[in-house]
Amino acid sequence: MGNFAEKLEVAKVLYRAGIFKPVRPDKTVRMIRAAKGWGRSPAMGFIALAIRQPDAIAIIDDEGSASFDEVNRRSNALARGLREAGVSPGDVVGVMGRNHRRFVETLLACCKVGANTVLMNTMFAAPQLTEVGKRENVSALLYDEEFGSLLHGLRDMPRFVIYGSGEDPSVEDLIASHADDNPEPPSIESRFTMLTSGTTGTPKGAKRGSPEGMMPIASMLSRIPYRFGERTMIAAPMFHSWGLGQFQLGLVLGTTYVLQHRFDPEAILKAVAEHECTCLAVVPIMMQRILALPDEVKSKYDLSSLRITAASGSALPGHLATEWVDTFGNNLYNFYGSTEVAMATVATPEDMRAAPGTAGKPPLGTVVKILDPQGQALPDGETGRIFVSNAISFEGYTSGDDKERLAGLVSSGDVGHFDEGGRLFVDGRDDDMIVSGGENVFPREVEDLIASRDDVEEVAVVGVPDPDWGQRLKAFVVPKPGASLSEDAIKAQVKQALASYKVPREVAFLDTLPRNATGKVLKRNLGTG
């Protein structure tokens, strides 16, 4: 009975989103045939849309627009070119590119070949790229021209330039020289390897297959009101699980993707206004940069079309969420998850108004529990480790290791608590706890307090060795331009609001915090003394 009720709820959510729109009978037959051949592959989603709405705009980027039929045909030709170049089903292909149509075509082509795709971080240095490429057994590499100087450690393989030109052949060469009709589906279903954020070292490869059924889609739609035919600006990098997830969701929703090669805060507002985007997918640091624009710049652009701003990728401070909805309206949805657990909770605008800083509530089909060190569930209000179960948790690391699992739930790697309203709060990493004088401190609480100041741009709090206390708290603060801040003022503020052992014993002022591509602060780069 429970299974029937769950299926019924999934159907209701999908219906509300407009996914069950009638389709011409002949197109329906072709889509069913395609589904039988291509299964759950992202290629199937795009082929279905090319059948359903061939002339609709699929992508708008710096080069203009392209229809679903055009993108599908170009990715067909590229898949044939890669096969001829020696890429076979089951091979591992590295892809390193920014957000643009050729990146999308490359991902689709790899799926159509049946190759497993490793999405490389565009902030990698050459040694890191080489290490990841060799560890993941990459046998072919596709990359944007700007990254060509990083590839000297990965030469003995087929290489192709996705965007731009260089010493290697280009994707455009392959597309121009091969037929563009749909290839035969591969015997092996392709999968993506996502790389963890790497805030504590070299990123791990996390295997992720195609989800079964429609539950993962319905889960997202149960908390974020996406509809069929959205026009979505994906500002978040698509090599990251958040940006890629927005792309994959769009394959079900018939979404028009609006992409920009590089992030520019004003350019984002201009594109949302010009293309009447209904959705904007960002990471919190992008929101911060947009909000930092002068008021006269922000007011220049009409964002009335924007129904959803979906944020994920790093912690969203409560004050930043409040400032966003005050500036741009109640359109903000905060998605909490990780490369390993995928989707955990979503905070709606109502959640963030009622409880700023919350990560929200679990969506349909997702279970989130707070567990103590013995694996027992903790009551609301008590902090413990966050464990998650859903339909799209990862399959393990490519190294053969796995994230800790308990009773079918996967560790998110974070600690947190539920409030009395059932809303999750993420208090920090489970390895981020600072023990000072025998007292446990999670930096997030101190960071949020300091960040709430009008004269603070951003802040990070870390634990550094101390001969007397074991560890002491050290705050790294970036003042807003023109602000005059003192160490004493920061300490006094924390002392007034929190327990004395949570007061930073040192405060350092910086021009900026070190971050990765999704905006997560690299605390290991802040020093230890």
Residue 391 CA: distances (Å) to CA of 6, 204, 250, 395, 469: 13, 21, 18, 11, 44
User: Helix 42-52 vs helix 68-84: angle between axes, to the nearest 10 degrees?
Assistant: 140
Predicted confidence at residue 271, as pLDDT, reads 97
Which CATH number is associated with domain 2-190? 3.40.50.12780
Predicted confidence at residue 200, as pLDDT, reads 44
C-alpha–C-alpha distance, residues 291 and 285, integer Å: 10
Q: Which two tokens stand for residue 90?
A: 């089951």
- Produce one character per residue of 470-482: b if its CB has 16 or more CB atoms within 10 Å, e if not: ebbbbbbbbbeee
The pLDDT tens digits of the residues spanning 337-394 come to 877 788 899 999 999 989 988 999 999 989 999 998 888 999 999 999 999 988 776 6
**What's the pTM?**
0.85
- Homologous superfamily in CATH for domain 434-526: ANL, C-terminal domain (3.30.300.30)
* Amino acid occupying residue 510: L
C-alpha–C-alpha distance, residues 335 and 242, integer Å: 9
The pLDDT tens digits of the residues spanning 101-112 come to 999 999 999 999
Residue 328 CA: distances (Å) to CA of 224, 240, 263, 269: 17, 25, 19, 11
User: Helix 101-113 vs helix 68-84: angle between axes, to the nearest 10 degrees?
Assistant: 50
Query: What residue spans in the chain does CATH classification 3.40.50.12780 cover?
Result: 2-190
Predicted confidence at residue 493, as pLDDT, reads 94
Number of H helices, E strands in the chain: 16, 24
Predicted confidence at residue 527, as pLDDT, reads 63
Residues 339/197, Cβ–Cβ less than 8 Å: yes
C-alpha–C-alpha distance, residues 110 and 116, integer Å: 7
The pLDDT tens digits of the residues spanning 110-136 come to 999 999 999 998 888 888 899 999 999
Query: What residue spans in the chain does CATH classification 3.30.300.30 cover?
Result: 434-526
| Positions of the chain with pLDDT lower than 50, given as ranges | 1, 199-200
Q: What is the largest CA-CA distance in the chain?
A: 76
Predicted confidence at residue 199, as pLDDT, reads 44
